[in-house]
Chains A and B, each alone.
Chain A
Amino acid sequence: MTFVEFLQQLINGLSLGSVYALIALGYTMVYGIIGLINFAHCDIYMVGAYIGFFAATSLHLPFIPTLILAMAGAGIVGVLVERIAYRPLRKASNISLLITAMGVSLLLENGFNCIFGGDPRSYPHDILKQTNIELGPVHTDSLHLIILATSLVLMVLLQIIIYRTKIGKAMRATSADKDAAALMGINVNATISATFAIGSALAGAAGVLVGILYNSIDPYMGIQPGIKAFTAAVFGGIGLIPGAFLGGLILGVIETFVTAWYSPLAGAIGFIILIIILIIKPSGLLGKKVSEKV
Chain B
Amino acid sequence: MPLLDIKNISIQFGGLSAVDKFSMSIGENDIYGLIGPNGAGKTTVFNMLTGVYSPDSGTIMFDGKSIAGMKPYDITRMRIARTFQNIRLMKNLSVLDNVKISFVSQTDYGLATSILRLPAYFHQEKDIEEKSMALLKVFNLDGKKDEKAANLPYGEQRRLEIARALATNPKLLLLDEPAAGMNPQETQELTELIRWIREKFHIAILLIEHDMRLVMGVCEKIIVLDYGKIIAEGTPKEIQSNPKVIEAYLGEEAPHA
Residues of A bordering B, CB below 8 Å? 294
B 1-56 contacts with A by CB, 8 A:
43, 47, 52
User: Chain A residues near B43 (CB, 8 Å)?
Assistant: 294
Residues of B bordering A, CB below 8 Å? 43, 47, 52, 84
Docked Cα-Cα span, A294 to B43, in Å, equals 8
Considering the complex, give the chain A residue whose CB is closest to the CB of B85.
A294
Please classify the interface of chain A as helix (H, G, I), strand (E, B), loop, or mixed, using the class held by over half of its residues: loop
CB of A76 to closest CB in B, whole Å: 41
User: Chain B residues near A294 (CB, 8 Å)?
Assistant: 43, 47, 52, 84
Instruction: Give the number of A-B contacts (CB < 8 Å).
Output: 4
User: Chain A residues near B47 (CB, 8 Å)?
Assistant: 294
Docked Cα-Cα span, A294 to B176, in Å, equals 11
Docked Cα-Cα span, A294 to B88, in Å, equals 10
CB of B40 to closest CB in A, whole Å: 15
Docked Cα-Cα span, A294 to B52, in Å, equals 8
Considering the complex, give the chain B residue whose CB is closest to the CB of A288.
B14
CB of B217 to closest CB in A, whole Å: 27
CB of A291 to closest CB in B, whole Å: 9
CB of A44 to closest CB in B, whole Å: 36
Considering the complex, give the chain B residue whose CB is closest to the CB of A292.
B52
4 A-B pairs, CB-CB below 8 angstroms? A294-B43, A294-B47, A294-B52, A294-B84
Ranked nearest first, the 4 interchain pairs of A and B with the lowest CB-CB distance are A294-B52, A294-B47, A294-B84, A294-B43
User: Chain A residues near B52 (CB, 8 Å)?
Assistant: 294
CB of B76 to closest CB in A, whole Å: 15
Docked Cα-Cα span, A294 to B51, in Å, equals 11
Docked Cα-Cα span, A294 to B49, in Å, equals 13
Docked Cα-Cα span, A294 to B84, in Å, equals 8
Docked Cα-Cα span, A47 to B106, in Å, equals 58
CB of A95 to closest CB in B, whole Å: 15
CB of B71 to closest CB in A, whole Å: 14
Docked Cα-Cα span, A120 to B47, in Å, equals 60
Considering the complex, give the chain B residue whose CB is closest to the CB of A294.
B52
User: Chain A residues near B84 (CB, 8 Å)?
Assistant: 294
CB of B208 to closest CB in A, whole Å: 13
CB of B51 to closest CB in A, whole Å: 11
Docked Cα-Cα span, A159 to B47, in Å, equals 41
Docked Cα-Cα span, A294 to B45, in Å, equals 12
